[in-house]
Amino acid sequence: MPVFKYTGRDAQGNLVVASREAEDRDSLIDYLRKEKIFPIDVKEEKPFLVFKFKNRFLERFTFQLSGLLDAGIELPKALSILLKRMNMYWEKDVISRIKKEVVKGRALWQVLSESTDIFSPFYISMIKAGETTGSLDKVLGKLTLFYEEKRELRDRFVSMLIYPLILILVGAGTIIFLVIYILPKMMFIFKELEVELPLVTRIFLSLSTFLSKEWKFLIILIFVLILLGKKLLVNKKVREKLDKVFLKIPFLNSFIYKISFVRFAGALELALLSGLPLLEALDICQEVIPNSFIINKLSQVRKDVAKGITLSESLRKNEVFSSQILDIILVSEEAGNLEDFLPKVAKSVSREVKNQVERFLRLLEPMVIFVLALAVGFLVTAVLLPIFQINLQTF
């Protein structure tokens, strides 16, 4: 649901500034009037602006709530303490609304399900399982570890990608500067001398002329392509086709399958430890998988398990994960301690993913340097060739 920021006056005349989810503007105004708040201004806020830090908030919320409940503090009191710790107004508003509904006697998972922009279906299902089994503090602790591992892997990848990106940006900026500003000035001299320009020089000169005249058009085109790309990615059919193509790329497919297994194993372990049956746990696991093609395979696995086929057999039949992983799942199933084996295997695969990312980025750096050096080399050649021709004509 959309989020609206509103300004109003309560029954005592105090100014109230807060945010709330609502189906539309009129629904929010009706709600405010029932709460005896006179609305002065109501504006819809963009989800990106309101929840751009939602992952960080979710991790902090889970970690701190887990610690407070583990210390024996009741949920309403724990939410009051959390409310004081938050700094951003929308964070305070979210926790305030959660606390208000919990005090009324509603289950925490029911309240969280009204803020799906922040709390995913997977997260809500885990909270529901924790409340049902009376182990909410333990589930929150496991969720904290789950999101920490997810963040660490993402941060590791981003931090290692920074240096190659800086190289690309600096190199590309330097080449564009040389092509647009330096090359045309030198070419003007060559034209006055009536020297026939080599092919490589004419190519760079044409590129320079195009960039100088059409740079505004290129910026608009890039902006339009980005918007179009975002809209296409939202389309379910397009996303499924792209996900299928990604799994056919040699290096990328191994990376996607391993990341998917790490998330699958973490979610399945968490669901089983929370007391959920295997079928329900498999439904929840699909929420954390990044590839829609693998999600479809896991959906078929769930159907097979419902028919009585073992998890390892169904995963092997649908070719979801590697045979080594499936062998370990088979052994753990036979031993009856699947939830104990999963984190060990996931940890091992997670290390493989980290090593794979490191190797890729180590190869990426020299490749970027080589490509940039090649581009600069061609540019220097384009400038020097006419000079050599002039020197040859003087002899």
pLDDT at 103 over 80: yes
In the prediction, which pLDDT does 136 show? Answer: 86
Cα–Cα distance for residue pair 91/218, rounded to 1 Å: 40
Name the percent of the chain lying above pLDDT 90. Answer: 0
Closest to 127 in 3D by CA, of 277, 284, 263, 278? 284
pLDDT in tens, 211-243: 777 778 888 888 888 888 777 776 777 888 888
Q: pLDDT band at residue 51, thresholds of 50, 70 and 90? A: very low
- What's the chain's average pLDDT? 80
Those residues whose C-beta lies under 8 Å from the C-beta of residue 253, and which sit 6 or more positions away, are: 246, 247
Distance CA 275, CA 269 (A): 10
Query: Taking residues 278-292, what's their average pLDDT?
Result: 83
Residues 6+ apart with CB under 8 A from 205: 183, 184, 187, 197, 382
Q: pLDDT > 70: what percent of the chain? A: 91
**What is the pLDDT averaged over residues 371-378?**
83
Q: What is the pLDDT of residue 195?
A: 63
Residue 98 amino acid letter: I
Give pLDDT, residue 394. Answer: 56
**Does 18 have pLDDT greater than 60?**
yes
Distance CA 238, CA 243 (A): 9
204 touches 379 (CB < 8 A) = yes
The model's confidence at residue 44, banded by pLDDT at 50, 70 and 90, is: low
**pTM, two decimal places:** 0.67
C-alpha dihedral sign at 40, 46, 47, 51: negative
- Report the number of secondary-structure helices (H) and strands (E) in the chain: 17, 3
Task: Check residue 362 and give its pLDDT.
Answer: 80
- Per the CB < 8 A criterion, the answer to whether 374 and 193 are in contact is no
Which pLDDT band, with edges at 50, 70 and 90, does 46 fall under? Answer: low
Residue 247 has φ and ψ, to the nearest 5°, of -75, -5
Angle at 351 (CA atoms; ends 345, 352), nearest 5 degrees: 90
241-277 per-position pLDDT tens digit: 888 888 888 878 888 888 888 888 888 888 888 778 8
Identify the DSSP state of 178. I
